[in-house]
Structure 1
Amino acid sequence: MDYLASTYYFDYKSDEIQQLIAEFKTSSLSEKEKTIRLYLKVRDSWRYDPYNLSFSKDNFKASNIAKKSKGHCVEKSILLITCLRALNIPSRLHLGKVKNHIGVERLTEKFGTNELTPHGMVNVYLNDKWLKLSPAFNKSMCRMCNVAPLEFDGENNSFLQQFNEEGNLFMEYLDDYGHFEDVPLEFMINNAKEHYPHIFDTKENITEFKL
């Protein structure tokens, strides 16, 4: 497996990604420090938005994601992975299914459920071990939900905000689909179609579906 490769999706040779990582290329920071700073940059510079869902291939290309002001969990994970690979830090996409318990009214209206799948996060290889981290929920969104934003220390996993500040259940993982060397678009489409059959029009091209 090559977790440093530039691919169609992880296109880190593009101008957009090179601009994002420019400040880190000549930096004397360690890989751990670079990862932490990149994590915070992707977490907070792109607002979390799970509602604008498109399965077009271009939608999951990092250079296109970089041009947006918001993205869902998979998009933001792809962006972070691409930046990390550009700095020669091994990383890969990890997918699963989650259930959100707070601020889910619009989710339930759109999807018919408060379960989200596939949910994306990042695996990064630091200090001889793989760590899980999720850059999905930006700090301002966390404040709205009264949830502490996920921090990443470069030493421990940081991917689950189980409770909010009041001790109420916020998020839980229901299923783990494992990690992927590249973006598994076909798997993601089939997964969404299996879980949300009511939102797909079989007469349309599923890869162009939008909410």
Structure 2
Amino acid sequence: MTNYLIETPLLNYKNQIIQKLISDNHWDTLDRTEQVLSIYNFVRDSILFGYNRADNISASQVLKDGYGQCNTKGVLFMALLRALGIPCRIHGFTIDKKLQKGAIRGLYYHLSPKEILHSWIEVYYDGKWLNLEGFILDVPYLTKLQQKFSQCSGSFCGYGVATEDFKNPSIYWNKNDTYIQKEGIVRDFGVYESPDEFFKEHRQDLGRIKEVIYKYAVRHLMNRNIRKIRQL
């Protein structure tokens, strides 16, 4: 299990702002169940759903940004868990771009790759590995989305969601697996000890020009669309 506790450049949990966050929230005084639950809820709701400049940014940078998506929120989640001695690892996938429709629109949607790099975090808890993916969307955003599409009672794909139960997705942790984008998975890359290893082997292949356009334009439009939903 020691390999699942190591600090890495991305999982930089000794960073001052991460240590201060842990101290301010007294997470180091809680029992194991409360630690996982409190950190999970923090990453889900205090770090808003949104798109950072890249997937492979450090946990401290995600915390500074105050927002993230599956890969970047996962990096912060892992760093906080490892800082408290909780073993965790990353499971890599691709998801269908249909999952992002609504957050990204028009020409940019048509130009985006068919498959998007995705991951969830596996946490070793009570003698078994749990799949935790339900922290990606903050509850206020998801609630507004459910209100916008209140007629939907079954499966839903779009706006960052891919679930079979849109009204009651499994995003609340109670010693269980949680999911919010699982139904959009296309390819499974398997498990990695760290996000550093995963992103070294797999990256979103946009090409240099599209990568620049995404970093400086597209992601800001996506974040604006997400804010509009959250403010409905």
Aligned length: 187
Instruction: Please say if residues 133 and 159 of structure 1, whose CA atoms lie closer than 8 Å, have aligned partners that are also in contact.
Output: yes
State the AA in 2 paired with 1:26: T
Q: What is the distance in 2 between the residues matched to 1:207 and 1:19?
A: 33
Q: What is the distance in 1 between the residues matched to 2:213 and 2:17?
A: 24
Shift of 1:185: 2.4
Instruction: Please say if residues 11 and 78 of structure 2, whose CA atoms lie closer than 8 Å, have aligned partners that are also in contact.
Output: yes
Matched, 1:185 2:205: no
1:175 equivalent among 178, 187, 201: 187
Q: What is the distance in 1 between the residues matched to 2:73 and 2:45?
A: 10
The unaligned stretches of length 5 or more in structure 2 are 147-165, 219-232
| TM-score, normalising length: structure 1 | 0.77
Alpha-carbon displacement from aligned partner over 1:144-189 (angstroms, at most 9, x marks no partner): 22144611112x2112467xxxxxxxx4222221121122223332
Matched, 1:153 2:152: no
Shift of 1:72: 1.5
Alpha-carbon displacement from aligned partner over 1:106-139 (angstroms, at most 9, x marks no partner): 4254343595521121110001110100111110
Alpha-carbon displacement from aligned partner over 1:12-38 (angstroms, at most 9, x marks no partner): 1111111222211123x2x12210111
Instruction: Please say if residues 59 and 79 of structure 2, whose CA atoms lie closer than 8 Å, have aligned partners that are also in contact.
Output: yes
| TM-score, normalising length: structure 2 | 0.70
Matched, 1:11 2:32: no
Match of 1:168 in 2: none
Instruction: Please say if residues 107 and 114 of structure 1, whose CA atoms lie closer than 8 Å, have aligned partners that are also in contact.
Output: no
C-alpha distance 83-121 of structure 1, shift in aligned 2 (>3 A): same
Instruction: Please say if residues 136 and 180 of structure 2, whose CA atoms lie closer than 8 Å, have aligned partners that are also in contact.
Output: no
Instruction: Please say if residues 101 and 109 of structure 2, whose CA atoms lie closer than 8 Å, have aligned partners that are also in contact.
Output: no
C-alpha distance 105-45 of structure 1, shift in aligned 2 (>3 A): same
Identity of aligned pairs, percent? 25
Instruction: Please say if residues 45 and 138 of structure 2, whose CA atoms lie closer than 8 Å, have aligned partners that are also in contact.
Output: yes
State the AA in 2 paired with 1:185: F
Alpha-carbon displacement from aligned partner over 1:56-82 (angstroms, at most 9, x marks no partner): x5xx11111111121111110000100
C-alpha distance 85-72 of structure 1, shift in aligned 2 (>3 A): same
The list of structure 1 runs, each at least 4 consecutive aligned residues, that deviate by more than 4 angstroms after superposition, is 100-103, 113-116, 206-209
Match of 2:43 in 1: 42
Match of 1:136 in 2: 136
Instruction: Please say if residues 12 and 82 of structure 1, whose CA atoms lie closer than 8 Å, have aligned partners that are also in contact.
Output: yes
C-alpha distance 136-111 of structure 1, shift in aligned 2 (>3 A): same
Instruction: Please say if residues 91 and 122 of structure 2, whose CA atoms lie closer than 8 Å, have aligned partners that are also in contact.
Output: yes
Q: What is the distance in 1 between the residues matched to 2:34 and 2:6?
A: 21
Instruction: Please say if residues 160 and 172 of structure 1, whose CA atoms lie closer than 8 Å, have aligned partners that are also in contact.
Output: no
C-alpha distance 114-136 of structure 1, shift in aligned 2 (>3 A): farther
Q: What is the distance in 1 between the residues matched to 2:174 and 2:66?
A: 25
CA root-mean-square deviation:
2.7
Q: What is the distance in 2 between the residues matched to 1:208 and 1:82?
A: 29
State the AA in 1 paired with 2:131: K
Instruction: Please say if residues 115 and 186 of structure 2, whose CA atoms lie closer than 8 Å, have aligned partners that are also in contact.
Output: no
More helix by share: 2
C-alpha distance 98-25 of structure 1, shift in aligned 2 (>3 A): same
